[in-house]
């Protein structure tokens, strides 16, 4: 059985021993592919994600962007370098980008402007978008719609909204990606979306190093744990992990425009 972790952060601040051991443990549980997200206060994580994908092209794709937390850092110089990084063939998507009104680390108007600017970049480069949205459902959907994000589509990562949001996102050309949140007992609206979303529009992810799924709560989350998330999604859809896994791999490969193979 094979799986792809469509959203993980592997920066050295989270995994001081480097990505190697983490990737090996994931491979051992059947995780053959990874989309590594490179975002942060500077573009260093973006450069590292591209380098990692270049070093392991069979199994790793990169996504680069400016997280809404860091929206104030997107000046013209950062935009120019990000554009050249995002143009690289190792980069499968622009992201994560979006809005986060929970933490408000950047002012909301700055978040909205950065989001719009980076949707335009994705459209220019014809790459899908990885969307981060927290406590900003209406603005997120409005900006995706208004800025023509449906031309490239993408993934709503770490889905934590409800069925109405999911329906609009699907209509806008966005797939739904489930993180460890779907394994939480009280995430009732996320369970409903996991059960009802068309099979060809779903993904699984860890969003490592945060949000470890049940039964790994309390540990730093790593890509190997995507197995638990996929198993819970299968259960909610009244199917088996063995039947769901190949569909998830196909979905990720179609959306990200590449095949994933284990490196060995």
- Determine the Cα–Cα distance for residues 120 and 124; give it in Å rounded to an integer: 6
Instruction: Tell the smallest beta-carbon distance from residue 239 to Zn ion (Å).
Output: 27
To Zn ion, the closest distance from the beta carbon of 191 in angstroms equals 20
Please report how close the Cβ of residue 134 comes to Zn ion at its closest, in angstroms.
Answer: 8
Closer CB to Zn ion, 64 or 241, in the complex: 64
The continuous run of DSSP H or E covering 108 comes out as: helix 108-125
For Zn ion, the closer of residues 42 and 240 by Cβ is 42
CA distance 156 to 160: 9
Q: Hey, how many other C-beta atoms are within 10 angstroms of the C-beta on 94?
A: 29
| φ/ψ bin of 141: left (φ > 0), alpha (ψ from -120 to 50), beta (otherwise) | alpha
Minimum distance, C-beta of residue 243 to Zn ion, in the bound complex (Å): 28
Q: Which residue lies nearest Zn ion, judged by its C-beta?
A: 132
Residues that bind Zn ion (CB under 5 A): 37, 96, 132, 207
Select 63 or 245, whichever has its Cβ closest to Zn ion: 63
Select 68 or 90, whichever has its Cβ closest to Zn ion. Answer: 68
**Size of the chain in residues:** 264
Nearer to Zn ion, 11 or 90 (CB): 11
Rounded least distance, CB 117 to Zn ion, Å: 18
CA distance 118 to 196: 30
Q: Which of 51, 50, 79 is nearest to 63 (CA)?
A: 50
């Amino acid at each position: 059985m094979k799986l792809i972790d469509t959203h993980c952060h592997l920066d050295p601040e989270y995994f001081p021993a480097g990505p190697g051991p983490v990737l090996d443990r994931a491979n051992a549980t059947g995780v053959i592919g990874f989309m590594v997200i490179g975002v942060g206060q500077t573009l260093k994580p973006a450069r590292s994600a591209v380098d990692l994908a270049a070093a392991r092209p069979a199994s790793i794709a990169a996504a680069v962007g400016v997280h809404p937390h860091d929206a104030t850092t997107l000046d013209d110089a950062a935009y120019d370098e990000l554009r050249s990084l995002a143009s690289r063939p190792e980069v499968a998507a622009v992201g994560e980008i979006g809005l986060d009104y929970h933490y408000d680390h950047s002012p909301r108007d700055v978040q909205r402007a950065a989001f719009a600017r980076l949707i335009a970049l994705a459209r220019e480069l014809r790459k899908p978008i990885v969307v981060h949205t927290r406590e900003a459902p209406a603005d997120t959907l409005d900006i995706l719609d208004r800025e023509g994000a449906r031309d490239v589509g993408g993934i709503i990562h770490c889905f934590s909204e409800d069925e109405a949001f999911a329906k609009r996102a699907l209509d806008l050309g966005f797939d739904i990606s489930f993180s460890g949140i779907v394994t939480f007992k009280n995430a009732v609206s996320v369970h409903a979306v996991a059960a009802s979303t068309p099979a060809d529009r779903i993904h699984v992810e860890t969003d490592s190093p945060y949000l470890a799924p049940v039964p790994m709560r309390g540990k730093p989350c790593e890509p190997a744990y995507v197995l638990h998330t996929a198993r819970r999604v299968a259960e909610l859809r009244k199917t088996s992990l063995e039947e769901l896994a190949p569909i998830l791999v196909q979905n990720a490969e179609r959306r990200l425009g590449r095949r994933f193979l284990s490196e060995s």
